[in-house]
């Protein structure tokens, strides 16, 4: 039996993962910024699930949630940093009032929650699951700010994997493609300053025509995440679905092409010459 602490459980992967873990007999600390939205989740599981308020942008709230988890279950061995949302719009269209709050949730909230949890995890080992995205593998027009937050999640996660290996703590970066969650609904905001110059790269049409009908089955994605958390040889990077894999393959090929195209110049040049 594992004990999970999961952020962002009001909807999407967070809610599904909390329910799936509890249904298989694990203990779960499910959290959300507005705890009233998740209180109904715990009723069928008795003492095996508790719900707590946690605004990940509040470092004190993260510490309080960790303390309550230790008080209730003696600790936890899986931390899932799932809380987050997206902003669509060209870089020129976005404003600080729109993109800075997203960084506070997606990046700094993840960091502060992880920092609060590490003293607990270092005592017994465990797993940190950081929810990234296909958008964390490669950038694309109309999603640059969201790309930037998920690229940051990838970098922090890779560093954590190196730092925490001596403590028996694994890091799993989950990189989903499109799945039928409400990500394109309540979890996406659009830049208010729509500019006709960027109509070709706007993701407004994509959002309107794909919300709720994405190809990916989210319950199957949860099954894979559970399998990876349980596995002894889980990878650091876990692209989910054919779209995420295609993004990764294109990125690897493009990166290799860039390296090879300028290899002779960038290696032959004597950069150390004074």
Taking alpha carbons only, the member of 58, 57, 13, 9 closest to residue 35 is 9
Instruction: Quote the CA–CA distance of 115 and 199 in Å, as a whole number.
Output: 41
Alpha-carbon dihedral angle through residues 136, 97, 192, 213, given to the nearest 10 degrees? 40
- Hey, what are 63's tokens? 């510490």
Instruction: Quote the CA–CA distance of 204 and 119 in Å, as a whole number.
Output: 42
Report the 10 Å Cβ neighbour count for 204.
14
Residues identified as active-site: 10, 132, 146, 150
Alpha carbon separation from 16 to 41, 98, 100, 223 (Å, rounded): 10, 28, 28, 10
Taking alpha carbons only, the member of 1, 6, 20 closest to residue 218 is 20
What is the DSSP pairing of strand 78-81 with strand 169-176? Answer: unpaired
Question: Side by side, which strands form the sheet with 3-6?
Answer: 49-53, 27-32, 3-6, 78-81, 126-131, 169-176, 237-240
Taking alpha carbons only, the member of 174, 175, 178 closest to residue 216 is 178
CA 174 to chain centre: 7
Q: Are 134 and 85 in contact (CB under 8 A)?
A: no
């Amino acid at each position: 039996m594992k004990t999970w602490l999961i952020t962002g459980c009001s909807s999407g992967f967070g809610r599904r993962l909390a329910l799936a873990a509890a249904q298989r007999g694990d203990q779960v600390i499910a959290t959300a910024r507005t705890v009233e939205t998740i209180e109904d989740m715990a009723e069928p599981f008795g003492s095996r699930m508790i719900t707590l308020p946690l605004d990940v942008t509040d470092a004190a709230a993260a510490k309080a949630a960790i303390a309550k988890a230790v008080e209730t279950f003696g600790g936890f061995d899986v931390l899932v940093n799932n809380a987050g949302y997206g902003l669509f719009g060209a870089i020129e269209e976005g404003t600080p009032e729109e993109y800075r709050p997203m960084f506070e949730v997606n990046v700094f909230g993840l960091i502060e929650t992880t920092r609060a949890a590490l003293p607990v995890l270092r005592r017994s080992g465990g797993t940190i699951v950081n929810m990234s995205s296909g958008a964390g593998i490669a950038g694309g027009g109309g999603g640059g700010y969201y790309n930037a937050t998920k690229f940051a999640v990838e970098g922090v996660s890779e560093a954590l994997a190196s730092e925490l290996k001596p403590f028996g703590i694994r890091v799993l970066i989950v990189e989903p493609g499109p799945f039928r969650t409400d990500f394109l609904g309540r979890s996406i905001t659009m830049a208010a300053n729509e500019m006709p110059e960027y109509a070709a790269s706007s993701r407004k049409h994509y959002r309107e025509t794909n919300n709720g009908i994405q190809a990916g089955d989210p319950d199957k994605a949860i099954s894979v995440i559970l399998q990876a958390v349980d596995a002894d040889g889980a990878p650091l990077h876990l692209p989910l679905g054919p779209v995420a894999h295609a993004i990764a393959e294109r990125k690897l090929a493009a990166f290799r092409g860039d390296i090879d195209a300028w290899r002779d110049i960038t290696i032959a040049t004597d950069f150390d010459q004074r």
